[in-house]
Amino acid sequence: RHIFYALGTRETLREFDMAAAVTEVGVTGSRLKAVRQVDIELPKMDFAARPASRGEYHESILFFERK
């Protein structure tokens, strides 16, 4: 999930769930069925580059199967 913050206030401006978007694109009009999602949490390594970020970072592995 990507979260976009206002630079000065750290107010959340927008959230975008990338895994949900990829799943939707993958199954819409195709012969695929979403089976499972595995999230792997990643450590925050660079607070200076993302000073407004508060959330966690993770990668998602999406599993699909043919219908």
In contact, 40 and 61? CB cutoff 8 Å: yes
Q: What is the pLDDT of residue 46?
A: 60
Q: What is the pLDDT of residue 38?
A: 93
Determine the residue type at 28: T
Q: Chunk the chain into consecutive blocks of 10 residues (it has 67) and report each block's average pLDDT, rounded to whole numbers.
A: 79 86 86 90 66 68 90
DSSP secondary structure, 1-67, as one string: -EEEE-TTT--EEEEE-HHHHHHHHHHTTSSEEEEEEEEEEE----TTT-TT--S-EEEEEEEEEE-
Query: Taking the model in full, what pTM does it have?
Result: 0.62
For the record, the structure tokens of 22 come out as 């990829």
